[in-house]
Amino acid sequence: MIGLVSLRTARLLHGAALTALLTGTPLLARAGEDARAWLQKMSHALETRNYDGTFFHLSDGRVETMRIVHRYVDGHVTERLQSLEGAGREYVRSNGRLTCYLPDKHTVLVEQRQSPVPFISALPHFGPGVDRFYRISSLPDERLLGKDVRVISVDPKDEYRFGYRLWLDPKTAMPLKTQLCDAQGHVLEQILFAKLEMPKSIPDRELRPAVSTAGMHWIVQGPTEAKAAVDGTFRPAELPPGFRLAAAAEQTIGAAKRPAEHLVYSDGLATVSLFVEPEAAAAVATGTAARAPMRGLARVGSSFAFSTVVEGHQVTAVGEVPAQTVEFIAHAVRAWGGAAGPVASLPVH
């Protein structure tokens, strides 16, 4: 997988007198509506514009220079993400297929996907209903890359999600800088574009990997197949506020003999992937599996993952959310007969 995590910043507004409140409230409401409109413009631009950019990715005290090429033609998206340093890893997404070129591992990993997943986690895509769980506001304009840019703050209303701060180009609404923050306002991940071009067309050669695949080992993951809920599957009995099942699929992972369930939960902005692997049942019972079941919390960049075993099945929840969110979802998993779905906690207001 490519990148992950989120970031939070708080902004306090106050009025000194009743007159200021009465006259300021409509202005604040319009400011909130304006901020949401800018987020919609940004999401549309990220998906439907052609762009070729070089950016710095800052996470865990490390800085990596990367290039992204995104082409949109007649509803079809092709993307290439390239690390410009180190091993020079590259990722290409097209036609429901994600190909990962890993020269340092002498491996090419191919994953089949039904739905597109954004390459860069710190470039968020906002779905409907986001303002139920996040406070969206405009901050004063700032100067960036030689121009005045719009600054939007997206702050979570509870401890189950991270927040964002976004610096948007005033003409295109493309994010020139983004920050993902935790509840204390600490920046977990940051993306800063050094160069961003939006050509009318992008030739095929710009979307081909520069990595030589000679002698590399190819691993093709089994296709991800959308599925409906059936008897005997596993689901969280309860979910954090606002999270709903967004997608359910089956996917064969590595050399596994049986497919794993892959469930995606979202609040319209943050997403959590839940994997349930049936092979762990035999591992627990016989101890003959190639690897022991995983348990506990792990952090990868700005993402958290929590693993446990439920009725002999390996359960792992991972996402760009706080640790308590993935723990909540993984611990809530139970065998579900399909008679009733998972219960979501009451929404935050």
Local structure of 160: helix, strand or coil: coil
Local structure of 142: helix, strand or coil: strand
Residue-wise pLDDT for 256-300, tens only, equals 567 778 899 999 889 999 999 886 544 544 444 456 678 899 998
Residue-wise pLDDT for 148-177, tens only, equals 999 999 999 999 999 999 999 999 999 999
Local structure of 150: helix, strand or coil: strand
pLDDT grade, residue 15 (50/70/90)? very low
d(CA 67, CA 70): 10
Among the residue ranges 1-10, 70-79, 197-206, 210-219, the one predicted with the least confidence is: 1-10
Which helix (H) or strand (E) element contains residue 137?
strand 134-144
Contact 3, 122 (CB under 8 A): yes
DSSP letter, residue 27? H
CB atoms within 10 A of CB 283: 19
- Whether the per-residue pLDDT at 97 is higher than 90: the answer is no
d(CA 319, CA 105): 24
HSE value, Cβ hemisphere, 13 Å, CA-based, for 337: 1
d(CA 335, CA 189): 36
> Please, which residues bridge with residue 148 across strands?
143
d(CA 141, CA 336): 50
Residue-wise pLDDT for 324-342, tens only, equals 999 999 999 998 765 445 5
- Please state, in angstroms and as integers, the Cα–Cα distance from residue 224 to each residue in 20, 142, 310, following that order: 56, 43, 23
HSE value, Cβ hemisphere, 13 Å, CA-based, for 218: 10
- 210 or 287, which is more confident? 210
Q: Where in the chain is the domain with CATH 3.30.200.100?
A: 223-344
Residue type, 328: F
d(CA 153, CA 138): 6
Return the percentage of the chain with pLDDT > 70, whole number: 74
d(CA 113, CA 225): 8
Q: Where in the chain is the domain with CATH 2.50.20.10?
A: 18-207
Name the CATH code of domain 18-207 (choices 2.50.20.10, 1.10.4080.10, 3.40.50.2000, 3.40.50.720).
2.50.20.10
**CATH 3.50.7.10 for the 223-344 domain, yes or no:** no
What is the pTM (predicted TM-score) of this model?
0.78
d(CA 30, CA 138): 10
Q: CA angle, corner 152, sides to 171 and 66, nearest 5?
A: 70
